[in-house]
Structure 1
Amino acid sequence: MTSREVPVAAPRAVHGAPTARRGDHAVLATRRNSLNLIRLVLALAVLVFHAYPLGGFTGKPTLLGVGLGGWAVAGFFCLSGYLIQASRDSRPVETYLMLRIARIFPAYWVCLVVTAFVFAPAAYVMAKGTIDGFLTSGPTAPLDYVLTNAFLRINSYAVGDTLTTVPYPVAWNGSLWTLYYEFICYLALAVLGVFAWWRGRIAVLVALAAVTALAVGYPHVAPYVGNDPHVANLVALAPYFFAGAAVYRWRDRVPLTWPVALLSAGLVVGASALDPQRGPVLTAAAFATALLYLGTVLPSPRWVRGNDVSYGVYIYAFPVQQLLVVFGVHTAGLWPYVIATTALTALAAVGSWYAIERPALRTARRRLDRRSGRSPVEAVPAGESVAAVGGPAAVGAAVDADRAQVGAVATSA
């Protein structure tokens, strides 16, 4: 869900401002930017959005007719497209893929194991008063939950006979499903980067136009692909990813200045107000530009700039929220519940970063350095971070669609 690897000239800015200048254009500084902070805010926005259904609270926060979670996910994909295109442009395909795998999978696998063998047993004991029968209860045994979901495509949301009496039953992690589509976008860039024609500016605009047209016209296409929800989600999310990639490719021509950011934000607001379904996707590049501008001007704490915990927040928030519901924390009210889940999720995210994510990236980099004969580089670039976070079809719609899908699992379990 960072930025040190973006290969852009980055003279140290005065007074800590996270911008650099190239000619007459403001560009994103390679190290001194606030993208980690922005991604962290987006991950927390997803947490707040999920707090309503998970805690059994009525309503949901929306903006311009789109759920807060939808905007956050779209933002993740925009930033991811920018950073991952930068990574692909600066590395051979095998190096690029190894770093992408190191960034996504180790923490993801640990999250599955912690959910299945720590959180779920605690919920089971809370409900049953004993651990007896946990390993063989319910439609999905704990080990099956880990194995069937191991390669990002979520095939089971349930762990044993747990979460049967909570407001949002059965599902232990309704956020992880988005990572599958994000990784498909990573693979798409891996393949496209092989071709010389992809290295030009026009190619990425053609790709963005194509995926945007497909997203807007998808209702007419859906019957021809069997109304496959996986295709629908990928089609809905791809425009945001490729919008970020396009902004990266055109970074020398599109200045990250306040007039451009203001115009971009105005386009997003206007289009979304007129058409909440299609407006956001049609202005995805403008949305990406506005977010990246914030990355150049917002002050960020030094620790946040050097440590990307947004991925950990994204993957642990949902199970932490469910576990606290089991223990009745939600009965104290929405905001006490949000504060408690934020605190515990932050602990899990920081632990994941220091114990799993950063060591995995360093190990991958050392192996690559040995293979290439270079001296190992100690620093872990924020640019190796994932944009965690995934996203809803047509921005907000797939959050609700996924909720319905998980609900169907709950009723059929």
Structure 2
Amino acid sequence: MATNLSGLIRKAGTMDGTRNIVNLFANLPTVATVLEKNRGAGPGFDALRIGLALCILLFHSIQNSYGSRYSAYVPTFFYPIILALLPMFFCLSGFLVTGSALRTRSVPLFLTYRGLRIFPALAVEVTLCALLLGPLLTTVPLKNYFSDHQFFEYFGNIISIVRYTLPGVFADNPVPHIVNIALWTLRPEFHCYFAMSLLMLSSIVYRPTLYTRLFLAASVYVAILNVVNGFGNPTSTFPWHVILYYFFIGIAFFHWKEHIPLHFSLFAAAAILSYFLLPLDGTTYVAAFPLTYCMVYLGTLKIPRVPLLQNGDYSYGIYLFHFPIQQTLIHFFPGLREWWLLFPVAATLTILFAAASWHWIEKPSLSLKKHFDFLRTWRIGRILPADQPR
């Protein structure tokens, strides 16, 4: 863009400079205009999801290589970036899932679509770990393995009753006993879908102004709690209710996408703010606003994709399978207990598993959506006409 935003900001002390900045923002493309040009989809959202999943894989490569000593191998300046990964996943989910909710306008259909996306691959991953990986690696007799309560409880992961251990599996790894720590996000993810269902039932999600007022009021409340008693402050990661908050802010950004300007200078400012605010106590909920802008901005870019990753949405498979693959590699090949060795090997195998999951499980499951179109008429709750005040 010919107009130099940073130059105008330096002139903001004058009336003309302020007027120029206002005019510039009025002429900037918005999130909505980019989505419209791309048939309702952000050109960079798929690449962003895969990038976030690979970043989490990289972080877990460090964690799985060194166990409780992993923090010594993470440079301090990377900490805010690590903190940002899951929140970005969830605000991205809130942004995209809102579009699905507004298109379906049916709670049964919305939940069916979410179920088809989440459960098939999850069920396969959990079953493979319990019935194949566990018996192969366990240090206890198979009779004891298959009769142990941990074996039966592990299947609860399919319905978000999260369990991390299988009998005698990975006992000697640097991160001992944990089969798939990534499953901890299942519960907040299901909470997000339950919350969206309530917003649909109450019609609040169809009324952007009402939703935004309620969201901002809640934001002020939790921000005060954050300052007063540390509610939501980060430790090694954010607590689940902060992750859930990012889903809600993603909804708000979707509702106001027509009014969110896009410019690299705004992105740079938001990225700097996020970087410094995320690790601080008392700024957890304030940091969510610039970080969500970063997510939306990146999602509207045409991010180049690696040819190997262009044939499907492999992000869910990467997230789902990477941890047990890393643990298995470390179990069989102790020489891989260096993150820079583990990461490329684990990433390659994980992408292969993710591709198989997409083409053989996830994509066929999603193709079943058309068989549930009859649920579109099952609209529970009051749906506002399009011309009713919001």
Secondary structure, aligned partner of 2:342: helix
Q: 1:242 to 1:359 in 2, by over 3 A?
A: same
1:354 matches 2:365: no
Aligned to 1:316: 321
- Once the two structures are superposed, the pairs formed by residues 148-167 of structure 1 within 5 Å of their partners are 148-154=156-162, 156-167=163-174
Asked if 2 retains the 8 angstrom alpha-carbon contact of 1:145 and 1:159, the reply is: yes
Aligned to 2:147: 136
In structure 2, what residue type is equivalent to 1:136?
S
Secondary structure, aligned partner of 2:239: helix
Asked if 2 retains the 8 angstrom alpha-carbon contact of 1:212 and 1:239, the reply is: no
Tell me the TM-score normalised to structure 1 length.
0.73
Asked if 2 retains the 8 angstrom alpha-carbon contact of 1:268 and 1:279, the reply is: no
Structure 1: distance between partners of 2:287 and 2:222: 14
Secondary structure, aligned partner of 1:282: coil
In structure 2, what residue type is equivalent to 1:286?
P
Structure 2: distance between partners of 1:68 and 1:327: 31
1:33 matches 2:43: yes
Q: 1:306 to 1:269 in 2, by over 3 A?
A: same
- Once the two structures are superposed, the pairs formed by residues 316-335 of structure 1 within 5 Å of their partners are 316-331=321-336, 333-335=338-340
Structure 1: distance between partners of 2:80 and 2:272: 19
Aligned to 1:235: 241
Structure 2 unaligned regions, length at least 5: 1-26, 232-237, 378-390
Q: Could you tell me how far 1:265 is from its partner in structure 2?
A: 2.0
Asked if 2 retains the 8 angstrom alpha-carbon contact of 1:214 and 1:235, the reply is: no
Aligned to 1:15: none
One of 188, 192, 197 as aligned partner of 2:199: 192
Asked if 1 retains the 8 angstrom alpha-carbon contact of 2:314 and 2:354, the reply is: yes
Structure 2: distance between partners of 1:303 and 1:214: 42
Q: 1:72 to 1:290 in 2, by over 3 A?
A: same
- Once the two structures are superposed, the pairs formed by residues 159-178 of structure 1 within 5 Å of their partners are 159-178=166-185
One of 119, 134, 147 as aligned partner of 2:133: 119
Structure 2: distance between partners of 1:183 and 1:163: 28
- Once the two structures are superposed, the pairs formed by residues 162-311 of structure 1 within 5 Å of their partners are 162-209=169-216, 210-211=218-219, 213-214=221-222, 217=225, 233-272=239-278, 276-301=280-305, 304=309, 307-311=312-316
Q: 1:343 to 1:310 in 2, by over 3 A?
A: same
Secondary structure, aligned partner of 1:159: coil
Aligned to 2:22: none
One of 56, 62, 65 as aligned partner of 1:46: 56
Q: 1:372 to 1:65 in 2, by over 3 A?
A: closer
Q: Could you tell me how far 1:103 is from its partner in structure 2?
A: 0.7
Asked if 1 retains the 8 angstrom alpha-carbon contact of 2:109 and 2:373, the reply is: no
Secondary structure, aligned partner of 1:297: coil
Q: 1:67 to 1:259 in 2, by over 3 A?
A: closer
Asked if 2 retains the 8 angstrom alpha-carbon contact of 1:175 and 1:318, the reply is: yes
Asked if 2 retains the 8 angstrom alpha-carbon contact of 1:157 and 1:172, the reply is: yes
Secondary structure, aligned partner of 2:300: helix
Structure with higher helix content: 2
Structure 2: distance between partners of 1:62 and 1:75: 21
Asked if 2 retains the 8 angstrom alpha-carbon contact of 1:317 and 1:345, the reply is: yes
Structure with max Cα Rg = 2
Deviations 1:349-402 (A, max 9, x none): 111111111111111x121246669xxxxxxxxxxxxxxxxxxxxxxxxxxxxx
One of 359, 367, 371 as aligned partner of 2:371: 367
Structure 2: distance between partners of 1:270 and 1:55: 28
1:90 matches 2:103: yes
Q: Could you tell me how far 1:215 is from its partner in structure 2?
A: 6.2
Secondary structure, aligned partner of 1:150: helix
Structure 2: distance between partners of 1:75 and 1:212: 21
In structure 2, what residue type is equivalent to 1:206?
R
Aligned to 1:145: 154
Q: Could you tell me how far 1:165 is from its partner in structure 2?
A: 1.2
Secondary structure, aligned partner of 2:120: helix
In structure 2, what residue type is equivalent to 1:109?
A
Q: Could you tell me how far 1:306 is from its partner in structure 2?
A: 5.6
Deviations 1:44-85 (A, max 9, x none): 111111122212264253665736443211110110010011
Aligned residues: 335
Sequence identity of aligned pairs in percent? 25
Asked if 2 retains the 8 angstrom alpha-carbon contact of 1:309 and 1:350, the reply is: yes
Asked if 2 retains the 8 angstrom alpha-carbon contact of 1:81 and 1:241, the reply is: yes
Structure 1 unaligned regions, length at least 5: 1-21, 224-231, 374-413
Aligned to 1:55: 65
Superposed CA RMSD in Å reads 3.0
Q: 1:150 to 1:299 in 2, by over 3 A?
A: closer
Secondary structure, aligned partner of 1:161: coil
Secondary structure, aligned partner of 2:165: coil
Q: Could you tell me how far 1:161 is from its partner in structure 2?
A: 1.6
Structure 1: distance between partners of 2:304 and 2:340: 25
